[in-house]
Amino acid sequence: MPGGRRVLVTRPGDAAEKTANRLARLGHRPVALPLSRIVPLHCPVPVDAAFDAVAVTSSNAIRHADAALVRKLDRLPCLAVGDATAQAAARAGFGQVSSAGGDMDDLAAMASRRLPRGARVAYLCGRVRRPQLESAFHRAGFRTTALETYDTEKVSYSTHELEQRLGLEPIDDIMVYSVSGAEAASHLLNLADLPQIFENTRILCISERVAKALAVPPGLSVGIADHPDEASLLALL
């Protein structure tokens, strides 16, 4: 398509910039509209706690962890949900990093293969999260301590601000990476006072779980990535 597709990027902060750069390199036209912001949380170092491994499901959990907390944990095996999170852990100084290469179910399965029953796991995570991994770890007999290093806050815009940011040209695609992102995108798409720029928009979701969280106007098409990573999401364009 001449000029590439006009793609709405709703991720927060640095993640949005990286995605926008990838889209531009592919010849598309990214439009930035963060629908959430990441807020660091002070997570004190557990003084008396001893751990056998670290689990992490988001690069944000690594990026916003206090340096003292990372120093306490970086010699332990670090089990990451996917390659991007594993790379963030390695950059932060973790020396034994493994990627499950998928989603939380894949991470839980990898942990069950590698850790003995009764293992003490430090879970670096956000305040807003699904209970899926902690429940799986409990079933596997692990003792899990959640260390919340960041929070996710919604970002809202007035109609005027949306018009200024989005313009009048149709949006071809919206990329959605999480359940909270799906909820925010659904709210945006259901605003009655927006121009008809979303009339033929495709909503591209990183997983089926994320797609199920959508509540969008009828007639819009939804695409689901073959694998829960950004490369597979971009392949839908």
**pLDDT single digits (tens) 163-190:** 899 988 999 999 999 888 999 999 999 8
Are 93 and 67 in contact, with CB atoms under 8 Å apart? no
Last residue of a domain, one of 118, 152, 186: 152
**Residue 65 dihedral angles phi and psi, to the nearest 5°:** -70, 140
Which structural domain range is residue 190 located in?
6-35+155-234
Whether 171 and 91 map to the same domain: the answer is no
Last residue of a domain, one of 137, 152, 167: 152
Whether 2 shows a pLDDT value over 60: the answer reads no
Whether 27 and 120 map to the same domain: the answer is no
Range 74-102 average pLDDT: 96
Confidence grade of residue 3 (pLDDT, cut at 50, 70, 90): confident
Residue with tokens 């990535």: 225
Range 145-172 average pLDDT: 92
Domains contained in the chain, number: 2
What's the pLDDT score for residue 192?
Answer: 62
Cα 172 to Cα 159: distance, rounded to the nearest angstrom: 20
Residue 198 within a domain: yes
What's the pLDDT score for residue 184?
Answer: 92
**Residue pLDDT, tens place only, 109-132:** 999 999 999 999 999 999 999 899
What are the angstrom distances between the C-alpha of 55 and each of 140, 176, 195? 14, 24, 44
What's the pLDDT score for residue 159?
Answer: 86
Whether 134 shows a pLDDT value over 80: the answer reads yes
Residue 1 within a domain: no
What's the pLDDT score for residue 1?
Answer: 45
Range 132-145 average pLDDT: 96
Q: How many CA atoms lie within 13 A of 193 on its CB side?
A: 7
Whether 88 and 185 map to the same domain: the answer is no
Range 47-71 average pLDDT: 93
Buried b (16+ CB within 10 A) or exposed e, 94-119: beebbbbbbbbeebbebbbeebeeeb
Whether 89 shows a pLDDT value over 80: the answer reads yes
Range 191-210 average pLDDT: 87
What's the pLDDT score for residue 191?
Answer: 81
Whether 121 and 65 map to the same domain: the answer is yes
- We report the CATH number of the domain holding residue 103 as 3.40.50.10090
Cα 113 to Cα 103: distance, rounded to the nearest angstrom: 16
Percentage of the residues of the chain whose pLDDT score is greater than 70: 98
